[in-house]
Every structure is written in C-alpha cells, then in structure tokens.
Amino acid sequence: MSLNTSLKGRLRNTNLPLTNVLYPLFEAVVNSIHSIDSLVKKGKISSTMDASITIRILRSSQMTAYSDVKSDIIGFEVFDNGVGFNTDNFTSFQTLDSEYKIDLGCRGVGRLLWLKAFNKVSVRSSYEENGSTYTRTFEFNATNDIHNEDIKETPNVKIETSIKLLDIHKNYLKYLRKTAATISRDLLEHCLWYFIRNGGAPEIFIDDTDERISLQNEYDSLMINASDRTSFVIKTKTFDITHVKLKSSLQNKHSIIYSAADRVVKEDSLQGKIPGLFGFLNDGSENFAYMCFLTSDYLTEKVTPERVGFNISETLEGLFADDEISFSEIRDNALKIITEYLDQYLNENKQIGKKRLTDFVDRKAPRYRPILGRIAETDKIVDPNISDKDLDIKLHSHLMAFESQLLAEGHDLMVPDATENKEDYSKRIDDYLSKASDLKRSDLANYVAHRKVILDLLRKAIQKGIDGKYSKEDVLHKLIMPMQTISDALKFEDSNLWLVDERLAFHNFLASDKTLTSIPITDSDSTKEPDMLGLNVYDNPLLVNEGENLPLASITVVEIKRPMRNDAKAGEEKDPIEQALGYLKRVRNGKVTTATGRPIPNSEHIPGFCYVICDITPTIKDRCDILDLRVTSDKLGYFGFHKTFNAYIEVISFDRLLNMATERNKAFFDKLGLPST
C-alpha cells in the first residue's frame, strides 16, 4: 500500500514569509546552477563559466503615468543551458521530498515555494538523452498539479531550459523589489557562496526591458578577498568560516551568513556583537565591509525544508545539553573566530569608540563617571554614531546592574560565611563600601548635572522667542515647581526651589498654585485664588512653610511674573510685592498650623520672607522705590525689611536669579567638568 500526497496540503504546511518573496526565484536560479554543475561532472563542459543563466523580469503590459517608471513585476523567467528536465530530473520533480539531489543538500520542496508566491509555473526544457534531443513542456499549479505535459524529439534544437514563475500573489507583491538593481543585489547576496567557492559560478544575467545586469561584474566590483578560511569543532561536528572582504562602496554592513548546501539560510548582523566593529574597516589599502559564510554538514542536516531557518534550539538544558548542539554555541564559537580575525583592523575603531563614551560622560552624563572603572573595557567601546539617548540607556543598564549587584552583596554581607576568617570578612566589607561609595558619587553627579540642565532651561526661558515674545509665567513657574501640587505629592528632586534659595528645599509643607482655603497650614476661609488673579493660575504663588519643630521658623511666599512685564501699579491686583504681602497676611490671619493640624502659638507674628521674581522694569522700579527697598550691588534687584508686615522682601530679576544660582553651583559644575554657561 502506498501513501497519497496532497499538493494543496503540502503547500498549506509550507512556510514562506512574505519578506522572503524572492526565495522562489532564488530556488530556480540555484536549481539552474546545479543543472550546470551536473554538466561539469559529466564532462560535457570544462567549467561552470562555459554556461550561463539569464533571468528575465516579466512586467505587466499596463503603462505607468511616468515614462521613467516601469510597470509592476508579475513574474520571472529563468533560462539556463544545463542538463535540463531529462527523465531522471523530471521523475524527481514529480516526487515531493525527493532524495534525488540529497547529496547537494536539496530537500525536494523548492518547487513548493514557487507555488507559495506564484499562481502558475510554466516549464520548457530541451535536453540531450541517449544521443537524441528532446523538448519537454508542462505547466504546474496548485489546482491541477503537473498538467499539459508534452514531450517530443526535437533535433538541432538549442539545449536550454526555461522556467516561468507567473502571476505573483497580491500579498507577496507589495514586498517584492521593484528594480533590476535591487533584485540583482539580493540575488548576488543569496548566491554569493557560489561565486566564492572553488570553480565559481556560471555567468548570470538579469534582463529588464532595456537593462542588462551581469552578476559576475557586480561580484567583481564588490569583492576584495575571500581566500581566508578558519574551522572550529563542536562535539565532533566541524564548522567552516570563510572570511570575506567587500568593497565599502557597495556594502555597508558587517554580517555572518549561515549556509546550508551552498545556500544562504540565515543572516545575522554583527553590529554590537564585536567591540569596535562599526563603520567601514581598512586593511591598509582600502576600506571594506566584512562578511563571512558559516558552513557545515551539521547545518545542512538541520536546515528546515523551506531553507529559511534551522531546526536547532537556541539553548539546551538537561538531558540533551551534552549531546546536542545549540545555536548559541555555534554563534559564540563563530564570534570568537571572527573577533580574532578582525582584531588587527579594529584598534583605531576601539579608540574612537572609547572616546565617544568618555566624552559623553565628561560633557553630558557625569553621573556615570564613578562607575566607569567597573565597566568592562570591551563594553566601553561603542559605535561613535550612537545617539546620546541610546548611549545614556546603555550606561544606565550598567548602573542598574551595578546597583543590583551591590544590593545582593549588601544582603550577603549581613550573614558572614562560617568558613571566613576575620581578615577575609573585613576585606569583603571594604570592597562593598568602595562600591557603595562609587554609587553614591554617581547619584550626586547626576543631581548636579540635573541642576545644570535646569539652569540651561531657565536661561532659554527668559530670552525673547523667535516670535518676539517672552515666556509666560506658567513656563517659569513649572521650571521652579510643578503647579497644582503640595509637598506630600512631590519627590525632593521634582522641585527646583534651590533656584530661588537653597533653604527652600527643606520645608515642612509646600503648596504650589493652590487656593488659600485648600491649604492645610491655615484655616483661612478665603475662596479667592492666590494673588487675586483668579483665572491666571500661573500667576498664583508658591507658599512655603519652613521647619519641623514648633514654632515654625518662617513663612515664605514666592511670586513669579512674566519676563519684562511692565504694568505694575499700586494695589494687590497689579503690584506683585503687595500680592506677596497680602498672601502672607491672609495666612497669618487664618491662624497658622503645622501640616498635621497642630496649632502654632502667636502665629500672626511668624516672620515672613517674600520673594518676587520679575524683571526690573520701570513700573517695578517705581513700586520698589515707594516701599523704600534698596537696590542690590549688581543693580539687578531690590531688598529690604517691611516692619509693619514683619517680612523680609527681595525682588529678584531673572538675570539675577540665573546668575546667583549659577554662582552657587559653579564649584560643583567645575568639579564635574561641566561648563557654567
């Protein structure tokens, strides 16, 4: 009894990813190469170079709107003058999963890939057999299988086989390359091994209307060297690597190609896998891109039927780990060989890569400087074209790994090993404390760098924009302190009160842009929004209540105005100084309490500090003069004490705010190598 085979069923179970739409063409071309190789083995021709393959691109007859744009590709026709569809080859073609060419690594399923992407295949083959010449024609599709078969003796006919792949499926069409140049490049990459191997490849041409491309010419213009070979063994299985140098003008990637039966199966980029391997390399005479072919009988044995992958597990554990080979083992061994081969070309790249990282840390990310000594030298070699964002992420991953390691060691430190002596335990403590010190210095560097960024943002925010206008109050308000928040909802690093006064960072309670009636440190029943500018929420003040112990040390009000605003006049509505004093008065009259609701004796006499941040425009200067405030030595602000309100008042221009904050932090910036301006 024999088993029947369903062509439709086999097609359904055949995998051809949409992005591999050219694989059916590749299969047809490789079959043609094998057909020509057979002629060489039989002594019919002396070398593969005596034969040729031509691929004709078939396009729809529909004209495009632009004369220089070609119509859609609907199929391909592949010609070769190999052995053709003689009786043995045709019998093999009729047998799915045929073992006829198994010694060449063929699986007998290549024609299934034709029907995965194309609706119809048409074959015409003239060949020699038993001293006569015959021509065999037939068609092949998923519905009728092999049909319209005809064979006749045709004396004096040119020996040639034509395979037409027709009517491409629409779902594959959108992934199909559009030009002969891109198709030829993909075909050459897939068949490159045939050009590199001993004996080379036959002449292969691609014809597209009035254009003809020679793959041999493309290969000659691309290739520098492919003569170096290295082998390695894993569990008795031998793997061979052929190192290839390609001209940089045509190839801009470094890759490893896993091959089976002389065919490309899987390609992996080497980007990021070998320290210093980025950009083009130089062998002393010209730039080149690196590619290598990894071949092995083991890979040929394990390739999937469709030749788009391998039946090899990425990793192995348990019972199979000692006998089977994992793909990670193959890759790791190959990368070691490749690294050794390329080492002579990577020295300059390694130095450039290290410099990119150290420059980034020195100028933009000093928080990572304390841990640089704990990062492996190979991990410090980065692609110089890496973005600041990606480099920051890369360094942050090292920092997180360092923190995790430190956390684990901290837990272990609490439980001394019973076999340890005092000296060993002391050394372990010293190592831990050294790492912890580096980590804390990293945190401090990060905070100082954050301050530098905030100052840069402030500097930009107070400048006139390209529209001729200045930033609104809310921009500056948010830079100093988020709006509509209270201290319980904020982290320490979320506010930048240090811009105004370092002491403001240490508070018992803080409210930003809140109505007085909603603030828990006073029972004022006022429903008015701060500084009586109701809808202008950005014009509302920051209320800061300092100290933890009773009584509270002081109450501070910070009022922010838009840069270069020049409409100040008497009254809380237009005078920011009076606004700040008015808020102070309302808070005191509401019987000030702690944030937890505990009363503060004589709260109406708590000292007040009022900071008004605005530019010293003529109207602001007038208000300062009326209140008898004194001008600062740099002429960029005013200060004084108001006896009636028991409050210190300081009017700070934005330039003075920026200058003072920069000066206070300059020593830290200098220590980290950050410019002050």
Query: Residue 166: which CATH number?
Result: 3.30.565.10
Instruction: Tell me the β-bridge partners of 554.
Output: 546
| Complete edge-to-edge strand list for the sheet that includes strand 507-512 | 485-486, 507-512, 542-546, 554-560, 608-613, 647-652, 637-642, 630-631
Q: Considering only 65-79, 233-247, 329-343, 476-490, which range has the smallest mean pLDDT? A: 476-490
pLDDT computed for residue 79 by the predictor? 96
Instruction: Tell me the β-bridge partners of 233.
Output: 238
Q: What is the mean pLDDT of the chain?
A: 81
CA atoms of 480 and 458, how far apart (whole Å): 9
552 confidence band (pLDDT: 50, 70, 90): very low
Q: Is the pLDDT of residue 95 over 80?
A: no
Q: Who wins on pLDDT, 626 or 427?
A: 626
104 confidence band (pLDDT: 50, 70, 90): very low
279 confidence band (pLDDT: 50, 70, 90): confident
Q: Is the pLDDT of residue 402 over 50?
A: yes
Closest CA to 360 of 341, 377, 378, 384: 384
Q: Is the pLDDT of residue 525 over 70?
A: no
Strand runs labelled E in 142-216:
145-153, 160-168, 203-208, 211-214
Q: Is the dihedral of CA 408, 411, 416, 421 positive or negative?
A: positive
Amino acid at site 663: E
Q: Who wins on pLDDT, 17 or 668?
A: 17
pLDDT computed for residue 664 by the predictor? 82
Based on the fold, state whether residues 24 and 171 are members of the same structural domain: yes
Q: Who wins on pLDDT, 655 or 262?
A: 655
121 confidence band (pLDDT: 50, 70, 90): very high
514 confidence band (pLDDT: 50, 70, 90): low
Based on the fold, state whether residues 526 and 631 are members of the same structural domain: yes
Q: Is the pLDDT of residue 598 over 90?
A: no
Determine how many CB atoms are found less than 10 A away from the CB of residue 308. 16
Based on the fold, state whether residues 490 and 447 are members of the same structural domain: no
Encoded tokens for 666:
């300059």
Prior bond of 599 cis (ω within 30°)? no
pLDDT tens digits, residue range 73-94? 999 999 999 999 999 888 888 8
Q: Considering only 274-283, 290-299, 351-360, 598-607, which range has the smallest mean pLDDT? A: 598-607
Based on the fold, state whether residues 370 and 500 are members of the same structural domain: no
Which of residues 148, 176, 204 is at a domain's end? 176
| Residue whose entry in the numeric block shows the structure tokens 């940089």 | 248
Does residue 581 lie within any of the structural domains?
Answer: yes
Based on the fold, state whether residues 653 and 582 are members of the same structural domain: yes
Range of the domain at 599: 473-668
43 confidence band (pLDDT: 50, 70, 90): confident
Does residue 182 lie within any of the structural domains?
Answer: no
Amino acid at site 505: A
pLDDT computed for residue 534 by the predictor? 22
Question: Residue range 260-267: average pLDDT?
Answer: 81
Q: What is the dihedral of CA 397, 402, 406, 408, to 10 degrees?
A: 50
Which of residues 176, 192, 226 is at a domain's end? 176
Based on the fold, state whether residues 563 and 613 are members of the same structural domain: yes
Encoded tokens for 140:
């092949």
Based on the fold, state whether residues 636 and 510 are members of the same structural domain: yes
Based on the fold, state whether residues 151 and 30 are members of the same structural domain: yes
Does residue 609 lie within any of the structural domains?
Answer: yes
Does residue 477 lie within any of the structural domains?
Answer: yes
pLDDT > 70: percent of the chain: 76
pLDDT computed for residue 249 by the predictor? 58
pLDDT computed for residue 519 by the predictor? 65
Based on the fold, state whether residues 95 and 148 are members of the same structural domain: yes
- What are the Cα distances from residue 163, in Å, to 6, 80, 123, 574? 23, 9, 5, 88
Based on the fold, state whether residues 426 and 541 are members of the same structural domain: no
Does residue 229 lie within any of the structural domains?
Answer: no
- Three-state secondary structure of 118-132: EEEEEEEEEEEECCE
CA atoms of 231 and 229, how far apart (whole Å): 7
Q: Which residues of 434-470 are buried (b: 16+ CB within 10 A; e: fewer)?
A: ebeebbeebebbeebbebbebbeebeebbeeeeeeeb
CA atoms of 539 and 544, how far apart (whole Å): 16
Which of residues 176, 195, 216 is at a domain's end? 176
- What are the Cα distances from residue 517, in Å, to 526, 560, 607? 6, 21, 21
Q: Considering only 359-363, 486-490, 583-587, which range has the smallest mean pLDDT? A: 486-490
pLDDT computed for residue 535 by the predictor? 21
Q: Is the pLDDT of residue 533 over 80?
A: no
pLDDT computed for residue 102 by the predictor? 46
Q: 420 Cβ partners below 8 Å, 6+ apart?
A: 428
Based on the fold, state whether residues 377 and 526 are members of the same structural domain: no
Beta strands 647-652 and 608-613 are parallel
Q: Report residue 638: phi and psi, to 5°.
A: -135, 155
Closest CA to 372 of 433, 428, 430, 441: 441
pLDDT computed for residue 586 by the predictor? 80
Residue 626 half-sphere exposure toward CB, CA atoms < 13 A? 13
**104-106-107 Cα angle (round to 5):** 150
Does residue 447 lie within any of the structural domains?
Answer: yes
Based on the fold, state whether residues 370 and 498 are members of the same structural domain: no
Q: Is the pLDDT of residue 644 over 70?
A: yes
The beta-carbon contacts of 388-392 under 8 Å, at least 24 apart in sequence, are 388/360, 388/364, 391/356, 391/357, 391/360, 392/360, 392/365
Question: Residue range 337-345: average pLDDT?
Answer: 93
pLDDT > 90: percent of the chain: 32
Question: Residue range 214-236: average pLDDT?
Answer: 90
Closest CA to 295 of 220, 222, 194: 194
Helices and strands in the chain, H and E counts: 15, 22
Beta strands 52-59 and 73-80 are antiparallel
pLDDT computed for residue 4 by the predictor? 54
Give the DSSP H or E segment for 403: helix 388-413
Does residue 172 lie within any of the structural domains?
Answer: yes
CA atoms of 141 and 658, how far apart (whole Å): 77
Number of domain units in the chain: 3
Does residue 73 lie within any of the structural domains?
Answer: yes
Closest CA to 458 of 672, 668, 667, 665: 665
